[in-house]
Structure 1
Amino acid sequence: MSEIINNREQQTKTKNKRQVILKQIFKDLHDGKNVNEVKAHFDAFIGKITIDEISQLQHEFGDLSVEEMHRLHAKHTEIFKGSIEKIENTNKPEEQPGHPIHTFKLENKELDKLVNTKLKLHLEQFEKDDSYENVLKLIEDINLLLDIDKHYSRKENLIFPYLETYGIYGPTTNMWRINDFIRDAIKDARQKLTSYNGDKHTLIEIINFIIQEVITMIYREENILFPMAINNFTEDEWVKIARESEEIGYCLIAPSEVWKPERHAVEEKAISEGFIKMETGILSLKQLELLLNHLPVDLTFIDQDDVVRYFSHGKERIFARTKAVIGRTVQNCHPPRSVHVVEELLADFKAGKKDTEDFWIKFRDKYVYIRYFAVRDENGTYIGTLEFTQNIDPIKAIDGEKRILS
């Protein structure tokens, strides 16, 4: 018995020692130490690193500025490359067609082919000759690459929320920021190509950045994020993710079939047919749900603790919402760069400084009106916030009159 206790104590000491060394290695990178020196230190004292250790480190060093995150992203990948211990899994549902990870990896293969063959080749041709024909080839590639938004959106809205339920927060902040860097660069390249003014150097710089970042993100997904998810998620969670992926869409390629796990997943219970008595009437739960889903607006409600409790599910949602956001804090449902706006607004609502706030933006082919309402009870106590989102293009187009009799 004493031998077992001694072994456990020794394992704990070894684990603690590794954590100290790993923290120092990360700190050295953050402080600007030479990458080769840091990697040599890592190879000598650590050698191999587990997904759990990476997750813990990313969580501890998660509160970084955009500039810091951008600078350190490539360095972290260089340190870890070839050193991540693979998770042994003899039964691999993630290799079955239709499984979310199988689909993510299919998309990554297509993305890799797009940036490593077509985009690189066309960029080389453009460097030699920035003719109209070569600009058009790059525009075609970049237009295809815009589809990456669906890949990243599924990751952010389906994978990240479940990771958070297991206390894994590093990827939520860090990877989402890098996703946004890539999205912005692709949009910037497209804008500069469609209105090309001869600034060849800037375009080459941006497209090279896109190629490098997309390739690096593929590596981080397949060697860190996906194994992390596989190691934690239950079959039922994967079933839910697979079902909700269709709503967001797929990047460059779609799954060839619907994933059918060996064990039949537990079906979600049908909504109860009970009734709700309100001040101005009585509705069944089914009637209430249908009523809310038929409104020509998107509704989302968060409670007094900033936790998402409900969203309507109309036919044409403006912004992607999946059931994975239920129970998630609203701060983690927004890109890191806009979280401060959300927090300021909620603080004003809770303090009673404001009752409403409106925004309006151009989003794809829509003109979107976003309204926030502080929800208070009969005593004025704040109980949550209602988000109301509507495509107002059809309303703006209204002219003249149309009476009910006509």
Structure 2
Amino acid sequence: MSEIINNREIQQDLSNERMQQLKDIIIALHKGTPYDEVKKRFQQAFGSVDPEEIAHLEQALMKEEGIAPEEIQKLCSVHADVFKGSIEHTHRAEADKQPGHPVHTFIKENKEIDLLLNFKIQLHLERFEKEDNEENIFKLISDLNLLADVDKHYSRKENLLFPYLERYGITGPSKVMWAIDDFIRKSIKETKALLENYTSDKKDDIIRELGFIIKEATEMIYKEENILLPMALRTLTEDEWLKIAAESDDIGYCLTEPESVWKPERHQLNTVNEKAGDGYVRLPTGILSVKQLEQMLNHLPVDLTFIDEHDVVRYFSHGKERIFARTKAVIGRTVQNCHPPASVHIVNKLLDDFKSGKKDAEDFWIKFKDKYVYIRYFAVRDENSKYVGTLEFTQNIAPIQDISGEKRILNPEN
């Protein structure tokens, strides 16, 4: 099995002619050629296509043909349907037999997601279409409360799996899939709000949105299991999968959990000691041990993240109650690839303003679950005013807003 999952290089022996044919077929789709005509053309030209070809194809469409990620995303479902039945199935069976392996867990979750989408929600939607009474509305709200857990499934994919694929130059999935994930998340949230504040004039909107959710989330299962995960298995090493498995608990799981901890027989992980070291850091105003410095940063009632002058994430604090999930997979990753495609332009504008000296700070504040989150960004400059990075400072200020009056003495009861 190690021969399968330890293959560190993406298969790049695809012929230029074959790749060009694939590009021409998908470009024809983008230009409006009838779907049936394009699918017939594909079936005549190709017996099968492997996941890497699809990933490289979409990257090439964005890079070489100038097609925006949003356009790729719009037709991603059509791409998948054209290729359906022609994708070479490799490696998946191996991971399926390994409880605790991240791929095994992703697939296990997908089975539960599929059951929720295409049995419970579909059934309750049909009942709602016939009669929009309180009971049927309540059942759909309960279903969407469960489905909202898909955020954890997508977050592990985006924040753990995508960063490793990007290290091998595979950026297509993170640009295209992440955008679709966000559309699904948004639709779940908005449809739940419509149901919770139901009026009969919104019935058609709810039916349409639920149909969208069922369709898109079901197709995402297909894309993950037939394109993304086989490609990842062929690309990532066993050590990398173990790191993904170890950090998955930080984000959580959707509708189910790993059956056990995955421990491959041959594996002895040779990692750098992740505990605080025994050395010391000499600063202009004092000397701290590495452990003291780490504990001090982690005890601050804020979340800190630092990216360097090349936009690469170098550090984040990991206190007990982080507001937004961070995993060690983000270390060494560009900050642009840590954000959904729809918000990358905001990140780039902020960094451009910092690097040019136009701004030294930028603040945002948002409602997030039960928190009121104050997010501050600071340009970090050296003694010569040269830009060396950006510090993100995130804090829940809801408790601070509740403060009134004065407190000048200790409370003996606390």
Assess same fold via TM > 0.5.
Answer: yes
Name the CA distance, whole Å, in 2 between partners of 1:370 and 1:189.
Answer: 28
Corresponding residue for residue 343 of structure 2: 338
Deviation at 1:88, TM superposition (A): 4.9
Give 3-state SS (helix, strand or coil) of 1:167's partner. coil
| Structure 2 counterpart of 1:366 | 371
Aligned to 2:113: 111
Residue of 332, 342, 346 corresponding to 1:327: 332
Cα distance in 2 between the residues matched to 1:43 and 1:81? 11
Amino acid across the alignment from 1:71: K
If the length of structure 2 is used for normalisation, what is the TM-score? 0.92
Answer yes or no: is 1:221 the counterpart of 2:224: yes
Alpha carbons of structure 1 residues 55 and 13: separation in structure 2 relative to 1, 3 Å: closer
Alignment of 1:4-403 (within 5 A): 15-62=15-62, 64-65=67-68, 68-88=71-91, 92-93=94-95, 95-198=97-200, 199-262=202-265, 263-269=267-273, 270-403=275-408
Q: CA deviation at 1:96?
A: 1.2
Amino acid at match of 1:352: G
State the TM-score, normalized to the length of structure 1: 0.94
Q: CA RMSD for the aligned pairs?
A: 1.6
SS in 1 for 2:15: helix
SS in 2 for 1:328: coil
- Report if the CA contact (8 A) 2:378-2:392 is conserved: yes
Query: 1:267: Cα distance to partner?
Result: 3.9
After superposition, the Cα gap between the structure-2 partners of 1:323 and 1:13, relative to the gap in structure 1 and judged at 3 Å, is closer
Structure 1 ranges of 4+ moved more than 6 A:
none
Give unmatched runs, 5+ long, in structure 1: 1-11
Aligned mates of 2:195, 2:260 — CA distance in 1 = 37
Supply the AA of the counterpart residue of 2:219.
Answer: T
Would the aligned equivalents of 2:73 and 2:176 in 1 still touch at CA under 8 Å? no
- Is residue 51–residue 224 contact of structure 1 (8 Å, CA) maintained in 2? yes
**In structure 2, how many angstroms separate the alpha carbons of the residues matched to 1:236 and 1:16?**
33
One-letter identity of the residue aligned with 1:20? Q
Q: 1:290 to 1:13 in 2, by over 3 A?
A: closer
Distance 1:94 1:289, change over 3 A: farther
Structure 2 stretches of 5 or more lacking a match? 1-11
**2:21 is aligned with what amino acid?**
I
> Equivalent residue of 1:61, what SS?
helix
Kindly indicate whether the alpha-carbon contact (under 8 Å) linking 1:127 and 1:204 is maintained by their aligned counterparts in 2: yes
User: Do the aligned partners of 1:360 and 1:369 also contact (CA within 8 Å) in 2?
Assistant: yes
> Which is further off, 75-84 or 63-72?
63-72
Distance 1:50 1:66, change over 3 A: closer
- Return the offset for 1:170: 0.4
On the 8 A contact 1:301/1:310 being kept in 2, the answer is yes
- For residues 325 and 389 of structure 1, what CA distance do their matches in structure 2 show? 17
Residue 133 of structure 1, CA deviation: 1.0
1:8-37 CA distance string (max 9 Å, x none):
xxxx99812111111101100111111111
The residue type equivalent to 1:226 in the other structure is L
Change (3 A) 1:170 1:325: same
Deviations 1:26-85 (A, max 9, x none): 100111111111111111112211112111111112365576345302211110101111
Paired residues of 2:70 and 2:176 also in contact (CA < 8 A)? no
After superposition, the Cα gap between the structure-2 partners of 1:197 and 1:64, relative to the gap in structure 1 and judged at 3 Å, is: farther
Q: SS of the residue aligned with 1:358?
A: strand
User: Structure 1, residues 114-152: CA drift from partner, whole Å, max 9, x if none?
Assistant: 011000000000111111111111111111110000000
- Which structure exhibits the higher relative contact order, with contacts defined as CA atoms closer than 8 Å and separated by 6 or more residues? 2
Cα distance, 1:368 vs structure 2:
0.2
Distance 1:77 1:316, change over 3 A: same
Separation in structure 2 between the aligned mates of residue 131 and residue 166 of structure 1, nearest angstrom: 52
The number of residue pairs the alignment matches comes to 394
